Amino acid sequence: MSLRPYEVLAAQRLLPVLRSADADEAVRTVRTLLAAGCRAVELTTSTPGWPGAVARAAALADALGRPALVGVGTVTTAADAGTALDAGAGFLVSPYPAPEVRETAARRGAPFVEGGFTPGEIAAAVRRSGAAKVFPAHVGGPEFLRSLRAVLPGAVLIPTGGIAPGEVRDWLAAGATAVGIGSGLPTDPAELAALFASLAAYPAASGVRPARAHDAGHAAPAPGGPGGPGPRAHGPRPAAPDGPSAPSGGAAGPVGDGSVPAEGPVARGRAAHLPSAGSAPPGERPTTPEASADVGGGTRPSAPEPGRAVPHAGTEPGLRVPLRAPAVPDGIPHAPAVGPVPPKWPPTGPQARGVCPSVPEAGRGAAAGGEA
């Protein structure tokens, strides 16, 4: 078929739906509409002798000499679908989901605007053909259509049923591609021509584009363009680089001023910007967190000062867990167990003096030859 019904409907913005008393009346109405600037019109199977009316109307042309685009609505059976296409129908329309019509249209390569009311029915119709008839539209109103347009931005949506000509612009503003009108159109040729001219100039709703039947099922390009990376909505948090890192609230202070960064290596259990225990003078044990060694490097860190908040390894950056030295009986030196204890700690013998206060000095602890 050379005509592209969806594009014609998107340009015309109004689809007359004719339920005439007989075939002759239907053809006369089609002639009047075509002379007023209309090109696409829908006849219905409720009109007596509709196949003959479709054949006669399909042979007509509009005011610009273009062939008329005649659709057939209220098609619910495979038999009616075949009869309509044999008579020259340019597209088929159903008021509700019609699997038989769907199969016939697919086999014959004909555009099919399948009807639906629920979001699921309408979305299913759009997935199959790119278009859907929203019926009965007056039940949900323009706001219902606006909600549908938000989740079906590229669909051809044609609300029909209970819509007056004066309400057409409200539906177009809500996102309708075209609006089906079954009654109430002006009978005066000049007024009818003015109506079609004004609606044809009405701007398209945001996100609406004329769709085609063969467009259905094509996936939208990924954000960022074909082959290009798009914005990632989910995924792991990027790892912080090794080395000194400042807290999220500002830059880290100099070593020794009590500032402890909460991001970077510290959040992963490493304090790369802090001096190790080996930097303390020989014979002195580090006593502040700033002089703590790498937890995973084999040196036992010293106890934090009471009430001092230090970063907690493995937590999200910026979180701090206050740690307090546990209360112990007076006179018993101790060091809280923070991190893994090296297997050969504490040292024993003479070299322990001045290094580990937990090892008694000679003459103050156990008797010679006893346990240290």
pLDDT digits (tens, 9 = 90+) for 161-170: 999 999 999 9
| 95-115 per-position pLDDT tens digit | 999 999 999 999 999 999 999
* Distance separating alpha carbons of residues 179 and 16, to the nearest angstrom: 8
Same domain, 58 and 120: yes
Same domain, 71 and 192: yes
Amino acid 353: pLDDT: 53
Amino acid 291: pLDDT: 40
Has residue 305 been placed in a domain?
Answer: no
* pLDDT, greater one: 133 or 350: 133
| 337-349 per-position pLDDT tens digit | 455 555 555 555 5
Q: From 192, 215, 238, give the residue that closes a domain.
A: 215
Amino acid 128: pLDDT: 96
Does position 329 have pLDDT exceeding 90, yes or no?
no
- Strand (E) or helix (H) holding 115: strand 112-116
| 214-244 per-position pLDDT tens digit | 333 333 333 333 333 333 333 444 444 444 4
Amino acid 346: pLDDT: 55
Amino acid 264: pLDDT: 45
Amino acid 4: pLDDT: 86
Is residue 105 within 8 Å of 99, Cβ to Cβ?
no
Same domain, 292 and 172: no
* Distance separating alpha carbons of residues 183 and 160, to the nearest angstrom: 11
Amino acid 270: pLDDT: 42
Does position 59 have pLDDT exceeding 90, yes or no?
yes
| 250-306 per-position pLDDT tens digit | 433 333 444 444 444 434 444 444 444 444 444 444 444 444 444 444 444 455 555
Amino acid 280: pLDDT: 45
Has residue 241 been placed in a domain?
Answer: no
* Distance separating alpha carbons of residues 277 and 285, to the nearest angstrom: 8
The Cβ of residue 197 has, within 10 Å, a number of other Cβ atoms equal to 11
Is residue 105 within 8 Å of 111, Cβ to Cβ?
yes
Mean pLDDT of 35-44: 97
Same domain, 100 and 210: yes
**3 state SS of 40:** strand
Same domain, 36 and 176: yes
Does position 202 have pLDDT exceeding 50, yes or no?
yes
Does position 134 have pLDDT exceeding 60, yes or no?
yes
Q: Which of 42, 114, 167, 290 is catalytic?
A: 42
Has residue 338 been placed in a domain?
Answer: no
Query: Model confidence at 350, in pLDDT bands (50, 70, 90)?
Result: low
Has residue 115 been placed in a domain?
Answer: yes
Beta bridge partners of 133: 115, 158
Does position 355 have pLDDT exceeding 80, yes or no?
no
How many domains does one find in the chain? 2
Q: Which domain holds residue 116?
A: 5-215
CATH label of the domain that carries residue 156: 3.20.20.70
Same domain, 168 and 86: yes
Mean pLDDT of 176-182: 97
Amino acid 349: pLDDT: 56
Same domain, 286 and 190: no
Does position 154 have pLDDT exceeding 80, yes or no?
yes
Query: Model confidence at 368, in pLDDT bands (50, 70, 90)?
Result: very low
* Distance separating alpha carbons of residues 139 and 136, to the nearest angstrom: 6
Same domain, 276 and 206: no
Has residue 196 been placed in a domain?
Answer: yes
Has residue 234 been placed in a domain?
Answer: no
Same domain, 157 and 290: no
Same domain, 176 and 33: yes
What share of the chain has pLDDT > 90, as a percent?
52
Query: Model confidence at 203, in pLDDT bands (50, 70, 90)?
Result: confident
Same domain, 42 and 180: yes
- Strand (E) or helix (H) holding 41: strand 40-44
> Is there a catalytic annotation at residue 133?
yes
Q: Which of 19-33, 51-65, 229-243 has the lowest mean pLDDT?
A: 229-243
Amino acid 344: pLDDT: 55
Is residue 114 within 8 Å of 132, Cβ to Cβ?
yes
Same domain, 44 and 169: yes
Has residue 184 been placed in a domain?
Answer: yes
Has residue 26 been placed in a domain?
Answer: yes
Q: Which of 103, 121, 133, 316 is catalytic?
A: 133
Does position 87 have pLDDT exceeding 70, yes or no?
yes
Mean pLDDT of 9-23: 97
Q: What is the mean pLDDT of the chain?
A: 73
Exposure string of 12-44, with b = 16+ CB inside 10 Å and e = fewer, is bbbbbbbbbeebeebbebbeebbebbbbbbbbb
Mean pLDDT of 6-23: 97
